[in-house]
Structure 1
Amino acid sequence: MMKKWMLVLLLCLSAALVQAQDELMKIAEANDSTTTGHVTGTFKATRLVNGHTVETNSAGVLLFLISHRFGTLNSGAYELFGLDQATIRLGLEYGLTDRLDIGIGRSSLEKTFDGFLKYRLLQQQMERGSPVTLTLFSSAAVRSLKWPEEENNFEFKHRLAYTQQVLIARKFTERLSLQLSPTLVHHNLVRTRRDENNVYALGGGGRFKITKRTSFNAEYFYLLSDQTRQDFRNGLSLGFDIETGGHVFQLIFTNAQGMVEKFFVSQNTGYWSDGDIYFGFNISRVFDLKGKEKREW
């Protein structure tokens, strides 16, 4: 009799395990969008490294983002190779719809406040339809750092800078995704007459998925404006993503100190060859305010 009960129990457990495996497969398939015709999960987070990706938050999802950059590695042992220095940005992003994001943030660099709108216009399809995902991005940044006393004749408008981007990405395989990011950064105030108010750049980057929860990312912004390129450097950033449930943890090496577009695209001064490399991280935490099933990147 005991053997019969044990056999029944084993059969029940086997059935439960098979059902659980089926449910996990359904979730995995939904995340990789191999069944719906829509390609999702192009990137693991809303940031590739410094710049935005085509990803948007689902409706009712709030994302809290902590971005941190230490000082440069070439600052030497006295500064513990940059660990004694820090720049930080805190941000909130909210999905008004599955396609429309709104976000705000505050960075310690120049005490900058920023806000953005992000709209996913096209979604990549498996077969017929759009071959890419296309997202429109628009942001404004406000410098709140006090002007030097000799420059107190500036107005509020001189504190503003704007960024416009078209984010175009394609998920080629389950492991490889690439993105192009044509970018325009406009500064209402520049340092000298020879500096350009409008700075054009072409961003490019990609993600290579190593395991289900880890990936390697790279990002590069090439300055198209000749005058700006004489004084500032193209931004090169490398990152490693680790997903742990509702968190995405990104380890970063970059030659840009700032975490807002006006800094890492148009005002970047770091040389990788000189050791002007900032180590840092991004931590993002997702909260579902409408109580739906948690979204997986």
Structure 2
Amino acid sequence: MKLRIFTEPQQGANYDTLLTVAKTAEQLEFDAFFRSDHYLAMGDSDGLPGPTDAWITLAGLARDTERIRLGTLVTAATFRLPGPLAIQVAQVDQMSGGRVELGLGSGWFAEEHAAYGIPFPADKFARLAEQLAIITGLWSTKLGDTFDFDGKYYRLVDSPALPKPVQDPIPVVIGGTGATRTPALAAEYATEFNMPFASAEDSARQFERVRAAARARGRRPEDLVYSNALVACVGANDADVARRAEAIGRDVAELKANGLAGSPAEVVDKIGAYAAAGTSRIYLQILDLHDLAHLELIASEVRSQL
């Protein structure tokens, strides 16, 4: 079981804060540092000092870290055109020496689109499918060849398909709860399928749908990584858990029901249930980015037991 750190900077974090968390995660030997890709705070947060762009952030981290893998969970296909996004991700992969992963989704938060003038079309899923075809097609085109695409939403003509990433291929993460289209899209394009904020039981059912879709496409289901994203709130004792829950505005009982919360022993047991469901990677959603002791506790008392 691999543990990754997953942050939500739209709730209020500048680059220096994210760099501190990423470097701490690297020093503690977590598997990766990921961030969401949002432009508007959610819930009661005022979002100060304001949003940071996911791929500008990752470009900075590519140069300011050395070993830890970097990625998005997930970039919204509505935010960027597929050609420029393929260039951005390939460039950050080069800047990091081959440590980047692209999580890509259709986009869902209508309010942030309205707030920053981003179109929010009704046919987002169909656009996502074309974006995945274009991005992976550009990266896989051989040097010296050109790439063409004639879709309903996007058209590329004689693209030189440059630059090339270091990794071949860059890992692509696709996730979601849809019963039919999402597993099919993951089976066609994904390196990893992620189930966000779901129980072990629901995850097991969705993983099996993805496996079935992979088999239908002639892929080996075991070639995909199956992962979960879950909020983390771990404490050495009940008082620590309560303090950390209060700091992020959540109820302890709710966190224990829906996330990875409680003592290290409780969290290890719950991770075991996800492992039994087929999970081999967990993204720990860390909502208090200033509580670095939380990461240290998870590394020393949770990850060490996995």
Give TM-score, length-normalised by structure 2. Answer: 0.29
Which structure carries more strand by proportion? 1
Give TM-score, length-normalised by structure 1. Answer: 0.30
The structure having more radius of gyration, on CA atoms, is: 1
Which structure carries more helix by proportion? 2
